């Protein structure tokens, strides 16, 4: 397979100004007619025109209306080449035949539950017709769709509907015109039996926009929350960024078969139905929150991605990092900002940090790829969002807004690069960002070390920062990064000290907040080693460093346990309050893991117990915050910090701590469950979801006690709950207690929800993630369950993905978990390479484990690589993992 490099980017020789598409949808095959208006970038260009095309049958090819003869062009399995196209402007007319019914890869045009739909990002358009399938080719499109009227009563594409009517033979047609230029990855077509929930939104300039959410008729009642989310997102983007929607119609379609979460096609967003459909009985609070965030995310792409797009796929974070940042901010404003920040940072630590430390580590802007689909990663998305967040931390909200305004002013309608975004932020603010661009090019999570010193006589407090960026594949040596460190200093009264000046780099810098001393300041750490000295500090403070997690780094400091307990109790920055508890928990778990490995008895530190108790019982705190603060760091996060990851020891220790906490705090936890039961009808608002979050966290702790009383309590919650959030939490609590009750309740849940496929996916995931010894056999049986289907990505992610995410059974020492994944990956690759490669990623950190596990995982990767007809997707992940 061919590797593609950023450094080899070349502007296209030809632009496409306009594209007219015509689809004749059929039951066996579909015909695609395309008419492209080509113009050379440089007058007189005589370079060959190379079009991408995969799995296409060429029926006819005309240039300026004349059919081309065989020796005027060349077709192979990937390209159609015109070796000497006309000079100047010309039209190209291409007819291709495709088979959407046989397309199980779910890219290009395919069928999902009887309906036609498309997925063109990143390189799916080449499976529809021959085209320059690259994002810097921006054209205006029209799309005519013809199909059977009874089978496909609804025909949708991008832009405005300009014509529709009936045809002979029970067929009908629709013509859509998109007035905005777009790259082909934003093209979309949907045809099928769908109904819509309609609403309107009046933009701030007074335009009326019709909003339509399309699903099969029976699911329409479950689209209310998605519609609410869409309207909230439209309003938020106007309020916060001054960005208004630009067409009179916005369509959202929910489909059950989709490789990712959703797709921002211009004015025709296509969604995985799990991110649209919700009712209190069939979706949890987490689902409601995900719908809010992803509906927002796709809508926000209309400006950050569609109006201004990426020059090439290496720039993916330009649109994804920025849009994730925007959806994070949206969700923060709609709920609790600190809790959202905690959730986002936890995700970064659990998934992105391990990726940044493994064989697939790549910069936010990768240097090369074999298959672009493999680079829709937590690094590009989540770390990319952290990079955008750092601009805001450095510039403040108004400076950031100025930068965004300039970005749109300069680049509307263009395909641009990460440097263009950087330049807009810099120029709009006259800012000095020194080496900030390294965040785009250097992979690896920087390590930041902080040493403090208080000088009692001089009343100065110094912080010495040193940083190191670890080597990653292809990047053995790194330069120091620009790390914004948001910082506050707490006095012994627990309050923030006023900060007026800091001595740094031979100069005294004043710290002011509109003329007043500040309580938080942002230090610019740019060198390998650097000292900041604060003056007029009356007593030794406790520093609150990296407030709000101001940079995506791993930080070590000389804070003592006493300092951390002090921060846990007093920090005005809620993120750092939570963080202090997490640092204490991580240290505790790692200490006990070492005891466990040496067969020493495990003992819970009483100070830690008291810390958890005081948080649990502090009625002044937000309940959702309490739920987060009493939750221990995940097993993956802990393993990521170990020299040699030991899944059994980490699981045993984490379970021990949970059980001890539950035992010691049984009364408090019991009261928490009792006092937070639902009495009224389900509402997805902060007060109610916080209450449910705390209740469910307490119930999960109690479930770990595995005794009859707790089983009874969880059963009671299971039976009396009126919403899935609480019912499923009760099921999770019961799932921890092996035995008859667990089996009965799992069967009951299936019987109750068997007609709700999204709920059944949760049932698959729960069983897949179970720590019951030898669970691989149960998972194998579930593969044959009538509700399971290897062709449906959601089911694969639930069952196979769920299993691979469970440290105990996936990493079973007998290799049974690895064997299971190896076999399935090969099978799945024949159906859907994108999904298969995502599953194979579970092997990528195999070198982190002991020798026995390493050998077993390596053998599976080698077996996968030796498989016949392996896709490029899986090849890239498996070969890079082995390297
Ligand atoms: N921009 C969308 C990316 C996407 C995608 C990429 C590869 C293969 C399938 C895909 N489906 C959607 C989603 C987003 O980030 O908004
Ligand atoms: Zn996106």
pLDDT in tens, 117-142: 999 999 999 999 999 999 999 999 99
Q: How confident is the model at residue 513 (pLDDT cuts 50, 70, 90)?
A: confident
- 385 and 436 within one domain: yes
- Digit-coded pLDDT (tens) for 44-66: 999 999 999 999 999 999 999 99
Q: What are phi and psi of 49, to 5 degrees?
A: -100, 120
Residue 787 maps to a domain: yes
Check residue 514 and give its pLDDT: 80
Whether ligand 1 lies within 6 angstroms of the CB of 136 is answered as no
Check residue 515 and give its pLDDT: 81
Question: 10 Å Cβ neighbour count for 516?
Answer: 9
- 434 and 456 within one domain: no
Strand partners of residue 509:
502
Structurally, the chain folds into a number of domains equal to 5
Check residue 184 and give its pLDDT: 99
Minimum-distance ligand 1 atom for the alpha carbon of 106: 9
Question: In whole angstroms, how far apart are CA 622 and each of 339, 495, 536?
Answer: 9, 20, 34
Check residue 764 and give its pLDDT: 98
Give residues with Cβ within 8 angstroms of 883, minimum separation 6.
Answer: 359, 473
- Provide the whole-model pTM: 0.98
Residue 592 maps to a domain: no
Look up tokens 């039976």; give the residue. 719
- 363 and 466 within one domain: no
Domain of residue 319, CATH code: 1.10.390.10
569 touches 607 (CB < 8 A): no
Domain of residue 498, CATH code: 2.60.40.1840
- 318 and 279 within one domain: no
Check residue 596 and give its pLDDT: 98
Domain of residue 241, CATH code: 3.30.2010.30
Check residue 738 and give its pLDDT: 83
| H helix intervals, 559-646 | 561-570, 574-597, 606-616, 623-629, 635-639
Quick one: average pLDDT of 816-837?
Answer: 98
Rg of the chain on CA atoms, in Å: 28
197 touches 213 (CB < 8 A): yes
Q: How confident is the model at residue 805 (pLDDT cuts 50, 70, 90)?
A: very high
Residue 624 maps to a domain: no
Look up tokens 């596990």; give the residue. 853
Residue 825 CA to residue 809 CA, distance in Å, equals 17
- Reference 576, options 464, 494, 511; nearest CA is 494
Q: How confident is the model at residue 10 (pLDDT cuts 50, 70, 90)?
A: very high
pLDDT more than 90, % of the chain: 97
- 116 and 88 within one domain: yes
Whether ligand 1 lies within 6 angstroms of the CB of 327 is answered as no
- Reference 602, options 662, 665, 650, 645; nearest CA is 650
Whether ligand 1 lies within 6 angstroms of the CB of 298 is answered as yes
For the chain, the residue count is: 883
Nearest-CA residue for atom 13 of ligand 1: 263
Domain of residue 787, CATH code: 1.25.50.10
456 touches 520 (CB < 8 A): no
Question: In whole angstroms, how far apart are CA 321 and each of 116, 328, 440?
Answer: 30, 10, 11
pLDDT at 70 over 90: no
Mutate to test the pocket of ligand 1, among 183, 263, 266, 276 (most ligand atoms within 8 A of CB): 263
- 418 and 324 within one domain: yes
Domain of residue 161, CATH code: 2.60.40.1730
Q: Give the CA count within 13 Å in the CB-facing half-sphere of 57.
A: 8
823 belongs to the catalytic site? no
- Digit-coded pLDDT (tens) for 102-116: 999 999 999 999 999
- Digit-coded pLDDT (tens) for 259-289: 999 999 999 999 999 999 999 999 999 999 9
* Catalytic residue of the set 93, 107, 121, 298: 298
DSSP conformation class of 73: E
- 355 and 259 within one domain: no
- 873 and 782 within one domain: yes
17 touches 67 (CB < 8 A): no
- 323 and 274 within one domain: no
Residue 324 maps to a domain: yes
Residue 341, domain extent = 312-441
Whether ligand 1 lies within 6 angstroms of the CB of 762 is answered as no
- 796 and 857 within one domain: yes
Mutate to test the pocket of ligand 1, among 106, 110, 121, 268 (most ligand atoms within 8 A of CB): 121
Residue 579 CA to residue 573 CA, distance in Å, equals 10
Write the DSSP assignment of 481-536 as a string of letters.
P-EEEEEEEE-TTSSBPPB-EEEETTEEEE-EETTEEBSSEEEEE-SSEEEEEE--
Strand partners of residue 555:
448
Residue 293 maps to a domain: no
pLDDT more than 70, % of the chain: 100
Residue 294 CA to residue 273 CA, distance in Å, equals 12
Whether ligand 1 lies within 6 angstroms of the CB of 376 is answered as yes
Quick one: average pLDDT of 655-663?
Answer: 98
Which H/E stretch holds residue 762?
helix 757-768
Strand partners of residue 131:
52
pLDDT at 255 over 90: yes
465 touches 530 (CB < 8 A): yes
H, E, C per residue of 689-706 = HHHHHHHHHHHHHHHCCC
Residue 362 maps to a domain: yes
Minimum-distance ligand 1 atom for the alpha carbon of 381: 15
Which H/E stretch holds residue 765?
helix 757-768
pLDDT at 737 over 90: no
- 238 and 175 within one domain: no
* CA–centroid distance, residue 544 to ligand 1 (Å): 38
Strands 30-40 and 73-75, by their bridges, are: unpaired
**Domain end residue (candidates: 441, 463, 498):** 441
* Mean pLDDT score of the chain: 97
* CA–centroid distance, residue 423 to ligand 1 (Å): 26
- Digit-coded pLDDT (tens) for 693-710: 999 999 999 999 999 999
Q: How confident is the model at residue 517 (pLDDT cuts 50, 70, 90)?
A: confident
Residue 19 maps to a domain: yes
- 462 and 421 within one domain: no
* CA–centroid distance, residue 263 to ligand 2 (Å): 7
- Digit-coded pLDDT (tens) for 472-508: 999 999 999 999 999 999 999 999 999 989 999 999 9
Residue 681 maps to a domain: no
pLDDT at 637 over 90: yes
pLDDT at 337 over 90: yes
């Amino acid at each position: 397979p061919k590797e593609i490099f950023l450094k080899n980017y070349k502007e296209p020789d030809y632009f496409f100004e306009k594209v007219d598409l015509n689809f004749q949808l059929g039951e066996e095959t579909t015909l695609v007619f395309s008419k492209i208006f080509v113009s050379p970038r440089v007058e007189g260009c005589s370079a060959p025109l190379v079009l991408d095309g995969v799995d296409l049958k060429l029926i006819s090819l005309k240039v300026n209306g004349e059919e081309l003869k065989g020796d005027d062009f060349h077709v192979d399995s990937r390209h159609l080449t015109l070796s000497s196209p006309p000079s100047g402007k010309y039209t190209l007319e291409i007819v291709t035949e495709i088979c959407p019914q046989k397309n199980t890869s779910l890219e290009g045009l395919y069928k999902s539950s009887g309906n036609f739909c498309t997925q063109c990002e990143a390189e799916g358009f080449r499976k529809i017709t021959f085209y320059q399938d690259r994002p810097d080719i921006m054209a205006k499109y029209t799309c005519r769709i013809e199909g059977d009227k009874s089978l496909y009563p609804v025909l949708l594409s991008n832009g405005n509907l300009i014509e529709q009517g009936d045809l002979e033979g029970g067929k009908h047609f629709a013509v859509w015109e998109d007035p905005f230029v777009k790259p082909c990855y934003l093209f979309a077509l949907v045809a099928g039996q769908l109904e819509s929930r309609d609403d309107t939104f009046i933009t701030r300039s007074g335009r009326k926009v019709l909003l339509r959410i399309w699903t099969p008729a029976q699911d329409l009642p479950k689209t209310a929350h998605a519609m609410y989310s869409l309207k909230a997102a439209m309003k938020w983007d106007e309020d916060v960024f001054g960005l208004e929607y630009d067409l009179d119609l916005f369509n959202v379609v929910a489909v059950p078969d989709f490789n990712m979460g959703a797709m921002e096609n211009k004015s025709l967003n296509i969604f995985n139905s799990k991110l649209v459909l919700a009712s209190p009985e069939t979706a949890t609070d987490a689902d409601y929150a995900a719908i809010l965030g992803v509906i927002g995310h796709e809508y926000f792409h209309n400006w950050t991605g569609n109006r201004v797009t990426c020059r090439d796929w290496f720039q993916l974070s330009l649109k994804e990092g920025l849009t994730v940042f925007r959806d994070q901010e949206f969700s923060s404003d709609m709920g609790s900002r600190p809790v959202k920040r905690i959730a986002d940072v936890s995700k970064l630590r659990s998934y992105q940090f391990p990726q940044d430390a493994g064989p697939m580590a790549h910069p936010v802007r990768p240097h090369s790829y074999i298959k672009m689909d493999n680079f829709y990663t937590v690094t590009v998305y989540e770390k990319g969002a952290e990079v955008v967040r750092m601009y805001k931390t450095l510039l403040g909200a108004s400076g950031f807004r100025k930068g965004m305004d300039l970005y749109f002013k300069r680049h509307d309608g263009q395909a641009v690069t990460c440097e263009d975004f950087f330049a807009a932020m810099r120029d709009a603010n006259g800012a000095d960002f020194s080496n900030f661009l390294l965040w785009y090019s250097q992979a690896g999570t920087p390590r930041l070390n902080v040493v403090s010193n208080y000088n009692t006589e001089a009343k100065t407090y110094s912080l010495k920062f040193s940083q190191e960026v670890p080597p990653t594949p292809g990047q053995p040596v790194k330069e120091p990064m620009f790390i914004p460190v948001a910082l506050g200093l707490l006095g012994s009264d627990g309050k923030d000290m006023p900060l007026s000046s800091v001595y740094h780099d031979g100069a005294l810098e004043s710290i002011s907040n509109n003329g007043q001393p500040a309580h938080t300041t942002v230090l610019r750490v740019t060198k390998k080693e650097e000292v900041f000295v604060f003056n007029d500090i009356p007593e030794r403070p406790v520093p609150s460093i990296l407030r709000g997690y101001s940079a995506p780094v791993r930080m070590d400091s000389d804070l003592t346990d006493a300092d951390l307990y002090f921060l846990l109790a007093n920090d005005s920055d809620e993120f750092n309050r939570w963080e202090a508890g997490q640092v204490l928990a991580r240290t505790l778990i790692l200490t006990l893991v070492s005891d466990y490995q040496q067969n020493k008895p495990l003992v819970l530190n009483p100070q830690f117990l008291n810390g958890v108790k005081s948080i649990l019982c502090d009625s002044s705190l937000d309940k959702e915050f309490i739920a987060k603060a009493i939750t221990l760091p995940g097993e993956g996060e802990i393993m990521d910090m170990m020299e040699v990851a030991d899944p059994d020891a980490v699981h045993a220790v984490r379970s021990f701590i949970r059980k001890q906490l539950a035992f010691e705090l049984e009364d408090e936890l019991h009261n928490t469950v009792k006092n937070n039961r639902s009495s009224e009808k389900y509402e997805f608002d902060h007060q109610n979801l916080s209450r449910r979050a705390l209740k469910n966290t307490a119930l999960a702790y109690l479930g770990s006690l595995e005794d009859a009383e707790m089983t009874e309590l969880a059963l009671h919650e299971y039976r009396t709950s009126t919403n899935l959030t609480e019912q499923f939490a009760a099921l999770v609590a019961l799932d921890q207690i092996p035995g008859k009750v667990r089996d009965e309740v799992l069967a009951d849940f299936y019987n109750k929800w068997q007609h709700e496929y999204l709920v059944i996916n949760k049932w698959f995931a729960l069983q897949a993630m179970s720590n019951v010894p030898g669970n691989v056999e149960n998972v194998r049986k579930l593969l044959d369950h009538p509700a399971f289907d290897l062709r449906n990505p959601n089911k694969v992610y639930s069952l196979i993905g769920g299993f691979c995410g469970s440290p105990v059974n996936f990493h079973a020492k007998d290799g049974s978990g690895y064997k299971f994944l190896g076999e399935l990956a090969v099978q799945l690759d024949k159906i859907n390479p994108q999904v298969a490669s995502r599953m194979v990623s579970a092997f990528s950190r195999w070198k982190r484990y002991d020798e026995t596990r390493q050998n077993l995982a390596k053998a599976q990767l080698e077996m996968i690589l030796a498989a016949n007809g392996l896709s490029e997707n899986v090849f890239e992940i498996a070969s890079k993992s082995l390297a």
